[in-house]
Amino acid sequence: MGKKRKQAEMEPHSTEKVEKEAPLRPQRTLLGWKEMSKNGEPLSSPVFRNKEKVLVTSSRRIIYRYRHLMLNIVSLLPHCKKDSKVESKASKGGTLNELVELRNCSCGLFFECRKQKDLYLWMAKCSNGPSVKFLVNAVHTMEELKLTGNHLKCSRPILTFSTNFDMKPHWQLLKEMITQIFGTPKDHKKTKPFYDHVFAFSILDDHIWFRNYQISVPHNEIDKVDRGGLDKMTLVEVGPRFCLNPIKIFGGSFGGQTLYENPLYISPNQIRALGKRKKAGKYAKKIKAKKKRKMHEESNPLEPDEFAGIWKE
């Protein structure tokens, strides 16, 4: 006991507790996180960790058809988070950026419905951009199509793009944004580690067409797939279907400087106005034809009929 007391008296008295060094957090990059060494420097061969999270929300007064499309996309993206509706008349940019930041997401999909007829899709990288505004056409939901295809929920998709995406810079930018938003991160806690369906994005008539296919393999050919039997696979469509017409590409998140504007875009309001003018033009032509007929009958009267009064009773 005496030796222990002497050792305790010889040790300096310090009330400060020894704090353990906190583990270094990974450094965030544009696409994900990179592991750091103990010195705070990135490793020579950093391990890439993709932590993309997508916030999916919509505007108020969205109709049931477009709401079902949004729910179909939510079911296809296991790395997304769904939030409450946002008032579209308010400042969308600031409100949506705050929502994305609060939910700890890096991307945003905003479905904006106007006049309960037109659907616009905002696709943005938060909070520095860029962002794209699309007009959504040819919408067909899974419940409406009732196709025979079926795949496991929360499995990772294979993204395929047509060769047109590499021809122009704005298509290349859209391809990169779609890859980051629709590509499910590897080793995500809600995903399955295998692929059993395909997301197909193709460009036709300056529109992006989306299709979802199941990778189907016959039961008697399952063992031959690993040995090079890829020709035995077939694709069966699952749904949903929709078409994206790009309107503008902005430099910021949900707004900012316009980087690209589609010269071939015609708003649905202009199309409806042209249809009304055509209908009004048909009515005006009909009235004009009646007036011409009346003037022709007055200028060219018929000769009196000789037998007009014979058959009177």
Q: H or E segment at 148?
A: none
- Whether residue 310 has pLDDT greater than 90: no
Cis peptide, bond prior to residue 88, ω within 30 of zero: no
Q: Which amino acid is at 32?
A: G
What pLDDT does residue 16 have? 47
What pLDDT does residue 40 have? 57
Identify the three-state secondary structure at position 289.
helix
What pLDDT does residue 188 have? 86
Listing DSSP states for 82-121 in one string gives E---B-TTS-HHHHHHHHHHHTT-SEEEEEEEETTTEEEE
pLDDT band (50, 70, 90) for residue 275:
confident
In percent, the amount of the chain with pLDDT more than 90 equals 51
Cis peptide, bond prior to residue 301, ω within 30 of zero: no
Average pLDDT score over the chain: 83
* Region 78-87 average pLDDT: 91
Structural domains in the chain, sorted by start: 54-267 (3.40.50.10480)
What pLDDT does residue 283 have? 80
Neighbours of 60 (CB within 10 A): 12
Higher pLDDT, 233 or 65: 65
Q: Which residues pair with 252 in a beta bridge?
A: 255
What pLDDT does residue 228 have? 56
- Whether residue 31 has pLDDT greater than 50: no
Q: Read off the pTM.
A: 0.75
* Region 89-115 average pLDDT: 88
- Whether residue 46 has pLDDT greater than 50: yes
What pLDDT does residue 265 have? 95
Q: Which amino acid is at 3?
A: K
What pLDDT does residue 111 have? 95
What pLDDT does residue 42 have? 55
Q: pLDDT tens digits, residue range 124-136? A: 998 888 999 999 9
Spell out a b/e string for 229-259, using b for 16 or more CB atoms within 10 Å of the CB, else e. Answer: eeeeeeeebbbbbbbbbbbebbebbbbbeeb
- Whether residue 102 has pLDDT greater than 60: yes
Strand pairing category for 80-82 and 255-261: unpaired
Higher pLDDT, 6 or 214: 214
- Whether residue 20 has pLDDT greater than 60: no
